Amino acid sequence: MNENNQENQRPSKMRGVVFPKAKYGVIAAIIIIVVGNIFYYKEFLLSLIK
């Protein structure tokens, strides 16, 4: 039991760092990709509207 507890502990310098939940990272990545594509294809999207 003692060995299992030692494996799950983070290094001492990282114990105070709070990591966000994985689902928030996925949502942020999707938003960044969508916004980046909108900027990259801005002129193409505007030509579709006209």
Residue 21 tokens, joined: 């939940």
Q: Give the CB-side neighbour count of residue 44, counting CA atoms within 13 A.
A: 5
> Are 45 and 38 within 8 A, CB to CB?
yes
Question: So what's the pLDDT on residue 6?
Answer: 57
| Length reported for the chain | 50
Both structure tokens of 12: 């001492």
- What is the per-residue pLDDT across 14-47, written as a single tens digit (0 to 9) for each? 777 777 778 888 999 999 999 999 999 999 888 9
Element (H, E) at 32: helix 22-40
| Token reading at 30 | 């999707």
